[in-house]
Structure 1
Amino acid sequence: MQTNTDPSSAYQNRTSRGKSPSVMLVLIIWVLLIAAGITSAYLYSNHMKQEMVRQIQADTHKQMNELKQSYEARFAELSGEVKELESKVQSFNELLTFTKDNATSKTDNSNKLYTQLNEVKKQLSELQRKMDLLK
């Protein structure tokens, strides 16, 4: 066995062995800190994503309810207009029938009633088409 009697080489061997565990400890701590930072960033980003999804779902649900209420109100309004027009058409039909029964020949009044009846029928069909689109 050969012993090294040179004092400088003995000092180097001792210092390199003495610093090695502390350097390794610092490296391990740095690696653990980096891993903890990456893990916490990943968990936080997942948490934020879930919160945003919940918020978007709540907003969407709220908007859908508002849209549904608006649709139902508009549908009820159009239904009322259709019923009103149907009653007008019915009264025009009755008036037209009465006028036809009492008229001996075609007059301007009966022509006007036919014209009005046709206009009301057009409006009724247009409202019916709008209601079908809303359905």
Structure 2
Amino acid sequence: MQPLAESTPVHSRRTAVRKGPSVKWFLLFWIVMIGVGAYAVYSYTNHLKQQVLAELGNQSRQQLTVLQNDYEARIAVLSEEVKELQSTVQTFNELLTFTKDNASNKTDNSNKLYTQLSEVKKQLDALKKEMDLLK
């Protein structure tokens, strides 16, 4: 029975030698796999970040374009209103001058025209202030 006892320690040495390198390769494999996984997660995260930033940039540009178009439309409407009020003021000035020249001391038409003219000027000033705020 001694021969069996002697072969057992030799056999256990050979298996120990074979287990050593295979454990090292196994650990190395998992370290490499963990590293590859970490790099893949990092790369994918950067890719998603770039994608989100691009989408946000596009949405911002679209919203700014809409706001700019709305702003320009409002400015155009206000400009038209100011032109109309200016022509109305000019007409009232001409009418006021005409009535001043033709009015007698007994008529009160010039006071009415002055009142209307001041109201139109107030409206014109209010529109100018709105335009300045929009600019």
Give the TM-score normalised by structure 1.
Answer: 0.89
SS state at 1:87 partner: helix
Aligned to 1:67: 67
Matched, 1:23 2:23: yes
User: Percent of pairs identical after alignment?
Assistant: 53
TM-fit CA distance, 1:8:
4.8
Please give the alpha-carbon distance, in whole angstroms, between the structure 1 residues aligned to 2:107 and 2:20. Answer: 119
13-22 or 42-51: which moved more? 13-22
Please give the alpha-carbon distance, in whole angstroms, between the structure 1 residues aligned to 2:73 and 2:118. Answer: 29
Aligned to 1:111: 111
Aligned to 1:130: 130
- Stretches of structure 1 that go unaligned for 5 or more consecutive residues are none
Please give the alpha-carbon distance, in whole angstroms, between the structure 2 residues aligned to 1:28 and 1:107. Answer: 110
> RMSD value over aligned CA atoms?
1.6
Letter aligned with residue 46 of structure 2: N
User: How many correspondences in the alignment?
Assistant: 131
- Stretches of structure 2 that go unaligned for 5 or more consecutive residues are none
What is the CA deviation profile of residues 75-134 of structure 1, one whole-angstrom value per residue up to 9, with x for unaligned ones? 000000000000000001011111111112163322111111001000001101111111
Matched, 1:46 2:59: no
Give the TM-score normalised by structure 2.
Answer: 0.89
